[in-house]
Structure 1
Amino acid sequence: MGLPFTVEVIPGGDVASRLQSHLAAPATVAVTCLPHHGPAKTVDLAVELAGLGYRAVPHLAARSVASKQQLAEFMVRLADAGVRDIFAVAGDAREPVGPYAWSLPLIEEIAATGGFETGFAAYPEGHPTVPEPELTELLLKKQELGSWAVTQMCFSGDVLSDYIARLRSSGVTVPIWAGVPGRVRRTRLISLAGRIGVGPSLKFAKRSGSLLRSVLAPSSYDPSRLVRSIETTGAFAGLHIYSFNDFRGLPRN
């Protein structure tokens, strides 16, 4: 694998100790924030990983942050642990539990506090509730405050290539990391994909003949062909690997 990469993990169980057996520090590890976990578990794991020498990137889901005070407390904990990056998303909670209904106000709050580089999400296959022109407009606003973007998980190099070309022509200039699945067991990929907001990518896979076979037929999905396609474009800053906590096939850093 020629591109730099980050690995996304899900809080729960002994994830930190298992990760150490497959990926050495100081690799970059993103920690997702699911509604049923909440941001506190994300921050806890990010602090733990930072203590083990990883470059931890916690996801903070705007709709799951209860108050400005809670956000401030999270940022103090993360800063004290040496965490330098935060990935801000709207989150999958149906209703906000606090003052942040979507990611831009959260990014603004983090930027106003200072001390962190902020990333944000990009959607190569669109968003179920936001039209594409509005998504692009939001990316243009976010890049004024943020530093990079990560795409929703996608199974198609062509889709990703076309998407980044459209972003660049629209004036989005921040580095874009391509979100790809790792070598994940088929059953785990299917069962968890929808829970982290990648359902559209699976629908795309099911419409795509040979792609369907590569995703659903083997016991584990093999991303090698997709990775080669992304590397060939030369347009992406790196790969963001959705591991689903299945670490056996991670590349060596």
Structure 2
Amino acid sequence: MTDQTDSPSSGTLSPAAVLLQDFSLEMTGKDVPALLDSVHAISVGTKVNVTFLGNEDLDMRVAAARAVRDNGFLPVPHISARRLHSEQETREFLEALQAVNATESVFVVGGDPSEPMGPYDSSTDLIASGLFAEYGVKEVNIAGYPEGHPDITDAMLWDHLQRKSALLKDQGLQSTILTQFGFDADPIIDWVREVRARGIDSTIRLGIPGPAGIKRLLSYAKRFGVATSAGIVKKYGFSITNLLGTAGPDKFVADLAERLAAEPTAGDVKVHLYAFGGLQATSEWARDFSAGVAR
């Protein structure tokens, strides 16, 4: 585990270094050993999201959240609305998370099932239930899709984003918008502008893929409907014809940071790193890249 040290003021850092300050990470319930191998590269207090996958159970999710907390980080458990079978199951999960001090921040998402397994058809429904405040939740992360969603219209995405933001504000809860990962700064900047134009002032965490095998990155992009044209992947720093190499997001982060720094309405924007190439590789990349681009 790294020691907390005083960091330089943002005025002495490059835009890329500023953007990567206070980045968050993501792990699955099975990644506890990987987390323990990565603590040397992660600053105390870093937010670490814990997924809610169909092949994980409550005990695994809670154990992973506890491991995050025990190692000095802030767990952000995912809660998949359509995977919940009942309000009782929801309460049991929140109660178990609260018992390990892991409900301060959560990420609420609709989830993959095409049909809900219980009473919640969407993350909006789950937020509207008002359950979170009962279990000590202070911040709710909600999903954002700068490049849209393959199964949801843009109009519906914007409607739900605004409704969720309003619900959380009414409930006195902080909100953060955590986005799907992307490779292209153009739609991300346009989407950030639109979020602010709609009066949503939440913190935004932009999803960025950490260093990973190129074939794996393209596979994830295809699965989630993320653009991967030859021009975009060239900007990202690798050739689409070379699937055997490993790519890091250095060029993409630098470009995105410069453009955000010049965007007057961007507001509070941070980074969420998807650890497609492994938690340790992603954490070490963030540490080393931040040090390399600091002025």
Stretch moving more, 28-37 or 183-192 = 183-192
Stretch moving more, 136-145 or 5-14 = 5-14
Aligned AA (1:7): L
Identity %: 28
Residue equivalent to 1:78: 97
1:222 pairs with 2:255: no
Q: CA deviation at 1:93?
A: 2.0
Give unpaired runs (5+ residues) of structure 2.
1-16, 169-173, 291-295
Residue equivalent to 1:128: 150
**Equivalent of 1:12, from 16, 21, 30?**
30
Residue equivalent to 2:8: none
Aligned residue pairs, count? 248
Residues 9 and 30, structure 1, Cα contact 8 Å, conserved in 2: yes
Q: Deviations over 1:158-187 (max 9, x none)?
A: 111011111211222211111000112224
Give unpaired runs (5+ residues) of structure 1.
none
Aligned AA (2:23): F
Q: 1:223 to 1:8 in 2, by over 3 A?
A: same
Residues 275 and 282, structure 2, Cα contact 8 Å, conserved in 1: no
* TM-score (normalised: structure 2): 0.75
**Equivalent of 2:229, from 201, 206, 220?**
206
Q: State the alpha-carbon separation in 2 of the partners of residues 190 and 17 from structure 1.
A: 28
Residue equivalent to 2:271: 239
Q: 1:12 to 1:187 in 2, by over 3 A?
A: farther
1:139 pairs with 2:167: no
Q: CA deviation at 1:157?
A: 1.2
Q: 1:166 to 1:215 in 2, by over 3 A?
A: farther
| 3-state secondary structure, aligned to 2:142 | strand
Residues 209 and 275, structure 2, Cα contact 8 Å, conserved in 1: yes
Q: State the alpha-carbon separation in 2 of the partners of residues 219 and 149 from structure 1.
A: 32
Residue equivalent to 1:88: 108
Across the aligned residues of Structure 1 and Structure 2, the Cα RMSD in angstroms comes to 2.4
Q: CA deviation at 1:60?
A: 0.8
Q: Deviations over 1:81-103 (max 9, x none)?
A: 22210100011123322211211
Q: 1:44 to 1:193 in 2, by over 3 A?
A: farther
Q: State the alpha-carbon separation in 2 of the partners of residues 104 and 92 from structure 1.
A: 15
Q: State the alpha-carbon separation in 2 of the partners of residues 192 and 156 from structure 1.
A: 15
Q: 1:192 to 1:44 in 2, by over 3 A?
A: farther
